[in-house]
């Protein structure tokens, strides 16, 4: 990315720091100024604490395999802002993004817009200009007041409910579920993969209240793992209208089976509403889908594995996948970073049960909300670790690799840390084909 465009985007990110607000009015105003591009395509809208990115990646890739022109809007990015906005797998050209930023910044009221309002307007504007037929859109934060909730989607999905962003969404599962259920809309079918009893009840009540037909993913799509390894996961599936069949995907871990179930339930609802989705498209889409930065080895340094798990439930799933699903030996070293709004101690305690003899390196990402290595030291000590501080992320990973012999190094705790490591050690942040 050119330095000029990078500077403009960094200025946009600064908007988020200056304007801490939630709500839809700002996004609606920007979209109205652009001619309401969000009304030119059909959409699948996906919320949830964990798993929503994987579900989005699977659904989009199947729709594309079915011959439909697709958009994919996700957050955050790992290396390049343009990863957030893709049409048939391709990011926007820099010149086009630069030009549309000019247009948006000239709109009335744009000076008071937040980063996420501008980013969402950019995405929907790009989808409209590129004549996208179907967009798969990941909620950024919560649901009810997220900038993406201006959509009138064809199908909604809520993947899971966990304790994350409690300072903004609430400090109970019920409160967080209520915020995420805010994407449900009258007459719009929805899928729930939520297995927390209280949260599931909140979502069911909200669906009934607004008149959104709710399907439970496990009732609609029956999915079992038949084989898994470092190559991915093979699934046995029974799901209408396709019946019984098998799928293979690159995504690893038992939690990805649950994400696959939700994606299949969404696709089943789309098929029931007239979208032509042949079984061949499902097989191709699942086989090709990738969600970068999640439980995968660095292609240039296979001893280094990274995972964007950045909350307690995400780390629990990571640890279970590492040992139970992949059968990997405990990592010889762990590199850990975390944001200020995360329960770093609980994450570190879970990682200690995974690898009690590992060396721990605590570090800081380039994100201003990251805890410093020095701040993480006493938190790590309270979880039973004797940690070594090292920053930036590249230095911490380098030290961990140097001291681990042939053993694996696991980097986790922050998607921003994964992005920093990709920049330093190589690795693809997603398709650009």
Query: Does residue 189 or residue 429 have the better pLDDT?
Result: 189
For residue 179, count other CB atoms closer than 10 A to its CB: 23
My answer on whether omega of the bond before 76 falls inside 30° of 0, hence cis, is yes
Q: How remote is the C-alpha of 320 from its chain's centroid?
A: 19
Listed residue (357, 297, 365, 317) closest to 333, CA to CA: 357
pLDDT, tens digit, 9 for 90 and up, residues 331-341? 999 999 999 98
Nearest to 282 by CA among 240, 321, 252, 253: 240
Domains of the chain in sequence order:
3-288 (3.40.1190.10), 296-425 (3.90.190.20)
What is the pLDDT, as a whole number, of residue 353? 97
Instruction: Of 74-78, 154-158, 206-210, give the lowest mean pLDDT range.
Output: 74-78
Q: What are the backbone angles phi and psi of residue 355, rounded to the nearest 5°?
A: -145, 75
Question: What is the band of 43 on the pLDDT scale with cuts at 50, 70, 90?
Answer: very high
Report, as an integer, the average pLDDT of 405-414.
97
pLDDT for the residue numbered 185: 98
What does pTM read for this prediction?
0.94
List Cα–Cα distances, 410 to 83, 228, 263, 300, 340, in angstroms. Answer: 24, 20, 28, 15, 21
By the 8 A CB rule, do 15 and 112 touch? no
CA dist., res. 51 & res. 255, Å (int): 8
Position 19 pLDDT exceeds 50: no
- Asked if omega into 246 is within 30° of 0 (cis), the reply is no
Give yes or no for residue 9 having a pLDDT over 80: no
Q: Are 377 and 345 in contact (CB under 8 A)?
A: no
84 burial level (CB within 10 Å; 0-12, 13-18, 19+)? buried
Determine contact, residues 123/84, Cβ cutoff 8 Å. yes
Quick one: which of 289, 192, 299 has its CA closest to 247?
289
pLDDT tens-digit map of 178-203: 999 999 999 999 999 999 999 999 99
pLDDT at 123: 97
Distance, in Å, from the CA atom of 77 to the CA atom of 86, rounded to the nearest integer, reads: 12
Asked if pLDDT for residue 433 goes beyond 50, the answer is no
Q: How many CB atoms neighbour CB 384 within 10 A?
A: 12
Q: Is residue 196 within 8 Å of 159, Cβ to Cβ?
A: no
Mean pLDDT of all residues in 196-220: 97
Closest CA to 350 of 421, 412, 261, 263: 412
pLDDT for 29: 96
Rounded distance between C-alpha atoms, residue 332 and residue 343, angstroms: 23
Averaged pLDDT of the chain:
93
CA distance 88 to 66: 12
pLDDT of 136 above 60: yes
Report the alpha-carbon distance of residue 9 to residue 101 in Å, rounded.
9
- What distances in angstroms separate CA 413 from CA 66, 232, 318, 339, 350, one per listed residue? 36, 22, 10, 8, 11
Residue 113's pLDDT is what? Answer: 87
């Amino acid at each position: 990315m050119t330095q000029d465009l990078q500077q403009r985007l960094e200025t946009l990110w600064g908007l988020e720091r200056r304007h801490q607000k939630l709500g839809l009015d700002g996004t609606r105003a920007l979209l109205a100024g652009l001619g309401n591009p969000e009304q030119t395509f059909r959409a699948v809208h996906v919320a949830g604490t964990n798993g929503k990115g994987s579900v989005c990646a699977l659904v989009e890739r199947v729709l594309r395999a079915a011959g439909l022109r697709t958009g994919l809007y996700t957050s955050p990015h790992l290396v390049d802002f343009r990863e957030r906005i893709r049409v048939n797998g391709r990011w926007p050209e820099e010149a086009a993004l630069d030009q549309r930023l000019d247009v948006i910044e000239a709109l009335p009221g744009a000076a008071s817009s937040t980063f996420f309002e501008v980013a969402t307007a950019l995405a929907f504007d790009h989808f409209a200009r590129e004549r996208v037929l179907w967009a798969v859109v990941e909620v950024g934060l919560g649901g009810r007041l997220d900038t993406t909730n201006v959509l009138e989607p064809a199908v909604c999905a809520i993947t899971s409910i966990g304790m994350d962003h409690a300072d903004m969404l609430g400090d109970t599962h019920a409160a967080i579920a209520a915020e995420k259920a805010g994407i449900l809309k009258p007459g719009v079918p929805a899928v729930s993969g939520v297995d927390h009893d209280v949260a599931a009840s909140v979502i069911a009540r909200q669906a009934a209240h607004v008149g959104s037909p709710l399907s439970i993913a496990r009732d609609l799509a029956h999915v079992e793992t038949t084989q898994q390894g470092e190559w991915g996961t093979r699934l046995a599936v029974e799901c209408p209208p396709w019946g019984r069949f098998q799928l293979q995907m690159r995504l690893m871990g038992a939690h990805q089976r649950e994400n696959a179930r939700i994606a299949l339930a969404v696709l089943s609802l789309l098929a029931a509403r007239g979208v032509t989705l042949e079984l061949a498209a499902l097989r191709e889409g699942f086989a090709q889908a990738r969600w970068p930065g999640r439980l995968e080895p660095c292609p240039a340094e296979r001893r280094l594995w990274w995972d964007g798990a950045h909350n307690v439930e995400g780390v629990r799933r990571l640890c279970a996948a590492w040992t139970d699903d992949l059968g990997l030996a405990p990592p010889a070293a762990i590199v850990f970073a975390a944001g200020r709004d995360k329960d770093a101690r609980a994450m570190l305690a879970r990682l200690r049960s995974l690898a009690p003899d590992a060396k721990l390196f605590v570090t800081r990402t380039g994100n201003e909300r990251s805890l410093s290595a020095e701040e993480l030291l006493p938190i790590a000590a309270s979880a039973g670790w004797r940690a070594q501080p090292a920053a930036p992320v590249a230095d911490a990973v380098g030290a961990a690799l140097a001291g681990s012999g042939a053993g694996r190094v696991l980097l986790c705790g922050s998607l921003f840390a994964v992005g920093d490591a990709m920049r330093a050690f190589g690795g693809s942040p997603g398709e650009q084909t």
